[in-house]
Amino acid sequence: MHDLKWIRENPADFDAALARRGLPAQGQAILQLDARRRAAQTASQDLLARRNDASKQIGILKKEGKDTEALMAEVAAFKDQIPAAEEEEKRLGAEIDAVLGIIPNLPAADVPQGADENDNVELKRWGSIPKFDFTPLSHDQLGANLGLMDFEAAAKLSGARFVVLKGALARLERALAQFMLDFHTQENGYTEMATPVLVKEEALYGTGQLPKFAEDLFRTTGSHWLIPTAEVTLTNLVADSILDEGALPIRMTAQTACFRSEAGSAGRDTTGMIRQHQFQKVEMVSIAHPDQSAEEHERMTSGAETLLERLGLPYRRILLCTGDMGFSSNKTFDLEVWLPAQDRYREISSCSNCGEFQARRMKARFKGVGDKNTRFVHTLNGSGLAVGRTLIAVLENYQQIDGSIAIPVALHSYMGGITVIRP
């Protein structure tokens, strides 16, 4: 959500930033609506003020035992205008909200201009790409050969884009999540949280998934929606609050199942575990002071990188261009892990600074000691990491010629003595 006041004062900057996102100018249209809304507000408030004043007089007169007939008649004369005036104000307000609610965050100044992922900028690479003296298999082939990854069983239960893991692979998924959580909580300053995965519409509005991206989500027949990421629950924990400045930054992490309809992804990544309707993810969320959010963004991304490094998985860091960034983000780093069978890097983490965009939508503010006004916090979120994709990366990068998987040393203590998963 954007600041109307700011748009009023900087309509050209607003439109220029929208243009960077490939969107048409909307400043003028918004400001016209805004002017109409404020006029309606003034009109309706004027009526209310007159009514309040008259009512107060009536109260005083009655107390003095005087006649109030004349005044009451006077109020009645304009009172019936009030509902219409309020209605008009409400209608225009809703109209503005509808327009503003689907405008994405504006890109930060240092985000490169671009149309799509081809214009993203690679910032760094870590690790050496493993060389195999055999043809490396894909994770789903490896999993099937091990007899521990079953897409047909999942299809029987749930249809396409689900998986059943078994034995050591189920254990590996659990080990990875636990390894990640232990790092975040013990070394990275995050507090572990366990949150619902079913949420109300308001929460999804707060983080920006709604109203625009309803088709990407699953919803219940009741009024709940399934979260596509724990970013939704963790970030919305500070919704409708005024935090003490000293409490910032607030760092939270959670492992949850994530649910995505993958509408519009038909035909992409149809085999294997890359793109599932349900997957485990460890998420990091930071609620930061505006002055420190850039620093926090770097810190968060580094944390995700550390996990990949400890797992010995080659990756690169990408700075997303304006055309590839998510709706709520003003700057996003993606981490992409090397997948030998695909012979390319694939996204395994996305770390975004949303600035005050989400905070405005969910009214998450802070106040310093002695400050007169509240300010909006900055919200950041990042995967640390997508557990399913990390499992894929471990399988493919640590595969051996006999089809066995060597377990990265960092996971040994989590695997109950298993150091190699054999067919």
Partner RNA sequence: GGAGAGGUGGCAGAGUGGUCGAAUGUACCUGACUCGAAAUCAGGCGUGGGGGUAACUCCACCGUGGGUUCGAAUCCCACCCUCUCCGCCA
Judged by the rule CB under 7 A, the positions of this chain that interact with RNA are 4-5, 38, 41-42, 45-46, 48-49, 51-56, 58-60, 62-63, 68, 72, 75-76, 79, 83, 242, 365, 367, 369-370, 373-374
Closer Cβ to RNA, 8 or 125, answer by number = 8
Catalytic entry in 275, 310, 316, 375: 275
**CA 208 – CA 81 distance, rounded (Å):** 37
Q: Is residue 363 left, alpha or beta, with left meaning phi > 0 and alpha meaning psi from -120 to 50?
A: left
Catalytic entry in 86, 245, 262, 347: 347
Active site residue 223: no
Query: CA dist 136 to 72, 172, 230, 274, 403, Å?
Result: 87, 20, 33, 17, 9
**CA 211 – CA 203 distance, rounded (Å):** 11
Q: Which amino acid is at 44?
A: S
Active site residue 241: no
Query: CA dist 10 to 14, 31, 143, Å?
Result: 6, 11, 55
Least CB distance to RNA at residue 257 (A) = 16
Q: Is the CB of residue 201 less than 8 Å from the CB of residue 223? A: yes
Closer Cβ to RNA, 135 or 373, answer by number = 373
DSSP state of 197: S
Look-up of token digits 């963790």: 234
Residues linked to residue 219 through DSSP beta bridges, in sequence order: 225
Closer Cβ to RNA, 137 or 203, answer by number = 203
Closer Cβ to RNA, 43 or 155, answer by number = 43
Least CB distance to RNA at residue 77 (A) = 10
Q: Is the CB of residue 390 less than 8 Å from the CB of residue 309? A: no
Least CB distance to RNA at residue 357 (A) = 15
Catalytic entry in 37, 251, 365, 389: 389
Closer Cβ to RNA, 194 or 369, answer by number = 369
Active site residue 171: no
Least CB distance to RNA at residue 372 (A) = 7
Distant-in-sequence, close-in-space partners of 124: CB < 8 Å, separation ≥ 6? 316, 317
Closer Cβ to RNA, 257 or 420, answer by number = 257
Structure tokens, 312: 């010995």
Least CB distance to RNA at residue 46 (A) = 7
Least CB distance to RNA at residue 385 (A) = 29
Residues linked to residue 353 through DSSP beta bridges, in sequence order: 331, 380
Closest CA to 209 of 233, 192, 193: 233
Structure tokens, 162: 């689900």
Least CB distance to RNA at residue 153 (A) = 23
Active site residue 275: yes
Active site residue 347: yes
Closer Cβ to RNA, 86 or 182, answer by number = 86
Mode of pairing for the β-strands spanning 250-259 and 191-193: parallel
Q: Is the CB of residue 151 less than 8 Å from the CB of residue 351? A: no
Distant-in-sequence, close-in-space partners of 90: CB < 8 Å, separation ≥ 6? none
Catalytic entry in 251, 260, 299, 317: 260
Residues catalogued as catalytic:
260, 275, 347, 350, 389
